[in-house]
Amino acid sequence: MTFYNDIYPFYPLQRISFIFSGRLLTIILVFLVLASTLLLILPGIRGKSRLFWMLRIITSLFIGGVIVGNPVVQFNETINYNEMFSWHDLTEEEYEEALEKGLPNPILYIVEKFTLNSPCGLIFQYRYSGRFASATLWTAFCSWMLSNILFSMPVILYAGYMMIVTAGFIFFSMASFSTIMNVPQCVFSIGTDSVSTEYSHSFWLALATGVLCTIIGTVVVMLNFLMPERIKTVFSVCVDGCEDEDVFYREGYLNSVFLDGAHSPLPLTVKEVSLLH
């Protein structure tokens, strides 16, 4: 195929991909807005619990951002795609459309490796392992939301359990995706160079997040058995409010005239009641 004004045939115009993934940008903006909104209420929290709540909010949003971001798009994705092939439909149909469109041979060569008739069987490895990994990560997201709800209730022990469950689903997703590395790898040879697959930064970021969830859940469960009252006080919504209520009830001014009138066996007249008020 030849060029026509530096454009391949059957292309209406030169297509330039966006410098950043739109889906990933949406996820980052949503969690940044949530973080900014929750951080605005920190000045209203008094005492030492302000630092604890800030750390709790940032850590929770970081875990949620990693869980939601990984099933959609990789964080280290730097390739500017001119062609993108979907995994949801049959690759044969898109491969035929690519042949009719006249795509370059390197692209057709790689797409052919992911067809059903290819001896490499990459479509089965990456499609099914990716589906299981995505499904378990979304389950981990549900567990993460449930753990946040339980942390706001007087059931801290179950919140710690759900945090461990969240870590378990993250590890399950990584294990399901790692199964493709245990089978013989298909070599991609383009000219004199060969392309090989390896774990990206998203994989190690998910691993670190799973370890973080495990540590948080284990610490919460252990502290719940060692010092249950203390851990409930720390995670309670009235960390400083309960002390304020005690101070409010301990300190006050009493009107002796009102008390004498209240303990008097004689009923008060309307004039006396108005004077007391």
Q: What is the dihedral of CA 172, 87, 202, 139, to 10 degrees?
A: -40
Mean pLDDT of 63-74: 66
pLDDT value at 19 more than 90? no
Residue spans of the domains in the chain: they are 22-237+252-276
Percent of the chain with pLDDT over 90: 9
- pLDDT at position 165: 93
pLDDT value at 107 more than 70? yes
C-alpha–C-alpha distance, residues 76 and 199, integer Å = 11
Q: How many CB atoms lie within 10 A of CB 46?
A: 12
pLDDT value at 14 more than 70? no
Half-sphere exposure in the Cβ direction for 183 (13 Å, CA): 14
Its pTM stands at 0.61
- pLDDT at position 128: 75
- Quick one: residue 136, left, alpha or beta (phi over 0 = left, psi -120 to 50 = alpha)? alpha
Confidence category of residue 240, pLDDT binned at 50, 70, 90: very low
Q: How far is CA 69 from CA 30, 149, 163, 169, 275, in A?
A: 11, 21, 18, 15, 68
Mean pLDDT of 211-230: 89
